[in-house]
Structure 1
Amino acid sequence: MTAPVWSGEPIAVVGIGADGWDGLGRISQEAVRGAEVVFGSARQLELVPEEVAAERIAWPSPLVPALPGLFEQYAGRKIAVLASGDPMFYGIGVTLVRLFGAVALRVLPQPSSVSLACARLGWSLAEVPVVSVVGRPLETVLPELADGRRVLVLSADEHSPAQVAELLGRNGFGASRMTVLEQLGGSGERTYSDDAQEWKHEPGDRLNIVAIECVADPGHPRTTRIPGLADSRYDGDGQLTKHEVRALTLSALAPAPGELLWDVGGGSGTIAIEWCRTHPECRAVTFERLEPRRRQIAGNAAALGVPHLDVRGEVLVELEKSTELTPPNAIFVGGGLTQDGVLETCWSQLRQGGRLVANAVTAESEALLLNWAARHGGELRKFQIYRAESLGGFTTWRPQLPVTQWSVVKAASL
């Protein structure tokens, strides 16, 4: 879809902090004074002095779908947009760039809440991960947690700190130190701290950010971003790629930030979930024909911090009824290999230069992979995993089902 063309003067996108109008520099104030129309939240518009003659328009809700029509309505007039802090940090500036392009904007930022928080805490801004729970599930915080790590959470409202404390307690980080910083940069700035497991503070100001100094419970299972989480971290009916083979499979799939995976035959969702956990920008669609398993995949995805995982039905049915599925960068086929048309369809949907990895545990599915490898190249491997088990008073090695794996890159000429 082609972005709308903005033919008027550049839109002034002005960052404004909790210190209001007086905290703006001369250039930012002049940009607002010179506008004929000023857009912003009701709270932001109230910060503009009465002598500024511009027409003031509060954002509608929902905002994003209304933006094209709203700006079309005021095309030809000088427009200023008010944003919180830095408009390009989880702000309206990012949305407007996507809509009109960077050349249509003149962005005048203020320090972001994250910059101010790090300044107050003495934390290195470049080294602190930031998670926004504004319009996003709280569980997206989970992949960032690690013992000794510092994390900043952009709160949705005044209830977010207590919700973060409860999340930390449920996931083995109850001893973590939490600091809430409210109204940063304004006259009402306030800071208070406590351990997550001891959190009893009443809801405060809705404009706040939560700083976490992570302390892990040594007895709680670790869930790192590295693939190969313990099988026990997944609920379900036992239909899952075991953690040793899962680590080898994710290595072959080679996720990179921003890439999209199709996980065909999702089972418990392990491959898609761990693909998404490798980086916040990794995305995945998992296809699973059984509805109970789709529910368990969604539950596992939320519990492991990637609730944005797209869970769908059987792959051939989904492709038949939807023409909007984005071609993936990588495909994993863990189920349905011998179903007519599955491998052919996956291959045709894969982008040029994309990776396909398929695992087989039966003689029939292994034979299929051998034939495809003969036609398209790639690499064939066979894994045999043994796990130690008790045998009387001794220890023996119990073999798991051997797994044949085919991995291939789709060349541009194919």
Structure 2
Amino acid sequence: MKITIIGISDRVPEFTAKEQRLIQSVKFFAGGSRHKQLVADLLPAESSWHDIIVPLSNLYKAIEDACDDWVIFASGDPLFYGIGITLKREFPDVKIDILPDFNSLQLLAHQFQLPYGEFQTISLTGRSFDAFDKALIQGKERMGILTDRKNTPTTIAHRMLDFGYTNYSMYFGECLGGENQRVLKLSIEDAAKMTFQHPNCFYLEKTDDVIPLKGIVESAFEPLEGRPKMITKMPIRMATLAFMELNTKKVFWDVGACTGSVSIDARLNHPHLKVVAFEIRKESEGIIHRNAQKFKAPGIEVLIGDYLQVQKRELKKPDAVFLGGYGGRMEAVLDDIHLYLKEKGLIAFNSVSESSKKRFVAWCHQRAYQITQSVQMSVDQFNPITILIAQKPDKPDF
């Protein structure tokens, strides 16, 4: 059995003589509904067609049951975030030939004569915004974006506007290579107001050198009403995050996030991190979101409610946790954090009193956590704060 994947654009293809002979020699074909419309008249009379739709398990079974050669039609380059990668993974022992066409971003670059090799490609086709948010925060100058019917240019532009990323031009293209092709150069504001046909993709190019601010003074955050001092001071915040070595971590929990200052600086300084902010106060949800928008920090997940009662089983386990609040139940909250924290993960705690310091240290000793940092700092006229960093053992006792 052999699988040949032929890439085509959004128009009736002009197959080479070799491709025509191949198509006439095969009985089993597959592709999307649009591909079928384009090639239907070129297939053998006794051919069998399988529509490629999710879940792909139906396609896999059809290929296995046929035990014969297949030709599969795909858009552009099948190895460019395409079905070629999927089939190579699913059928590692089957010979797979790839006959590519230009992919959509290449076709778009040709229209605007863009140096597409200098653009970072980010796929939002069936994917989260994680990679896109990371690129925005890092201030990537050039990006090529692949979309789908959910993550459209309009919804993506709205997300960029929500977090203040207006400093990009959009080079947009839809139905590329076909009779209904349309290409436009747009501002992010204009893109947010428009509707687009699928399939489409676009490039983003920065219009200035601005990147998000990092190390934000506490007075710049929107505070809790009547409690303006309930924000971790910037020098304490930055030192704590530095001691946590977040460049080596993947998932960061901010327990007792309050106004989101720690979550926001963690996100901006380490955009690869998955950041989850826990806060009991309902009013904090809006405050955290508004502060994140103000300081251009997309991608922070906010969970409102009593930390001990919030459902956490579906969350990715953290390897770094900042304990910013515990509602008088330090040991209970730490015990719960311990259940989810990965081995050798870190817990950071800023102690404002000798008694809270002793309680945290006592809990760490009881659970065999190693105190890796204990540093006292003072900011202006405020009382000294002790930054404590504790590391979970390799093989915890419970």
Using the size of structure 1 for normalisation, the TM-score is 0.70
Q: Note the alpha carbon deviations across 1:157-205, whole angstroms, 9 max, x for none.
A: 6995566666666665556433223344445544332544577996454
Q: 2:345 aligns to what?
A: 354
1:177 and 2:169 equivalent? yes
- Name 1:344's counterpart in structure 2: 335
Q: Aligned with 1:316: secondary structure?
A: coil
After superposition, residues 29-40 of structure 1 pair within 5 angstroms as 30=22, 34=26, 36-38=28-30, 40=31
Q: Which residue among 176, 193, 199 is the counterpart of 1:207? A: 199
Give the letter aligned to residue 257 of structure 2: G
Q: Deviations over 1:51-77 (max 9, x none)?
A: 4254334455xx3xx344664466412
The equivalent position to 1:223 in structure 2, one of 209, 212, 228, is 212
2:324 pairs with one of 330, 334, 347: 334
Q: Contact (CA 8 Å) 1:151, 1:212: kept in 2 or not?
A: yes
Tell me which amino acid in the other structure corresponds to 1:18.
D
For the residue of structure 1 that corresponds to 2:386, the secondary structure is strand
- Picking from 118, 131, 149, the partner of 2:141 is 149
Query: Corresponding residue for 1:191?
Result: 183
- SS, match of residue 145 in structure 2: strand
Question: Would the aligned equivalents of 1:316 and 1:342 in 2 still touch at CA under 8 Å?
Answer: yes
Q: Structure 1 residue 210: deviation in Å? A: 2.6
1:153 and 1:249 map into 2 onto residues whose CA distance is: 35
Amino acid at match of 1:332: F
Hey, what does 1:393 align to over in structure 2?
Answer: none
CA drift of 1:113 comes to: 2.6
One-letter code aligned to 2:320: A
**1:21 Cα deviation (Å)?**
3.4
The residue type paired with residue 399 of structure 1 is Q
Distance 2:216 2:20 in 1: 49
Q: Which amino acid aligns with 1:335?
A: G
Distance 1:165 1:308, change over 3 A: closer
* 2:241 corresponds to 1:250: yes
- Residue 283 of structure 2: which of 292, 300, 307 is its match? 292
- The runs of 5 or more residues in structure 2 that have no matched partner are none
1:262 equivalent in structure 2: 253
Per-residue CA shift, 1:69-111, capped at 9, x if unaligned? 664466412566544334454445566678x475579473544
Counterpart of 1:394 in structure 2 is none
Identity %: 22
What is the rounded CA distance, in whole Å, between the counterparts of 2:192 and 2:3 in structure 1?
Answer: 44
Q: What is the CA distance between 1:264 and its match in structure 2?
A: 2.0
Mark the CA change 1:280 to 1:402 in structure 2 (over 3 Å): closer, same or farther: same
Q: Could you tell me how far 1:347 is from its partner in structure 2?
A: 2.7
Contact map agreement 1:139 1:302 (CA 8 A) in 2: no
Q: Does 1:241 align with 2:232?
A: yes
What SS is found at the alignment partner of 1:50? Answer: helix
Q: Which segment is superposed worse, 203-212 or 26-35?
A: 26-35
Answer whether contact 1:172 1:217 (CA < 8 A) is retained.
Answer: no
Kindly state the Cα deviation for residue 399 of structure 1 after the two structures are TM-superposed. 3.1
Q: Tell me the amino acid that sits aligned with residue 404 of structure 1.
A: T
Relative to 1, partners in 2 of residues 1:364 and 1:144: Cα closer, same or farther, differing over 3 Å? same
TM-score using structure 2 length: 0.72
Describe the SS at the equivalent of 2:262: helix
Matches within 5 A, 1:58-137: 58-60=51-53, 63=54, 66-68=55-57, 71-72=60-61, 75-77=64-66, 82-92=73-83, 100=90, 106=96, 108=98, 110-118=101-109, 121=112, 123-125=114-116, 127-134=118-125
Letter in 1 for 2:240: T
RMSD over aligned Cα, in angstroms? 4.5
The gaps in structure 1 that reach 5 residues or longer are 1-8, 387-397
Shift of 1:317: 2.3
Which residue of 32, 37, 43 maps to 1:46? 37
**Which range moves more in the overlay, 176-185 or 102-111?**
102-111
Alignment check: 8 A CA contact 1:277 1:306 kept = no
Residues 1:170 and 1:333: Cα distance change in structure 2 (over 3 Å): closer
What SS does the corresponding residue of 2:344 show, helix, strand or coil?
A: coil
In structure 2, C-alpha distance between the alignment counterparts of 1:312 and 1:69, rounded to whole Å: 40
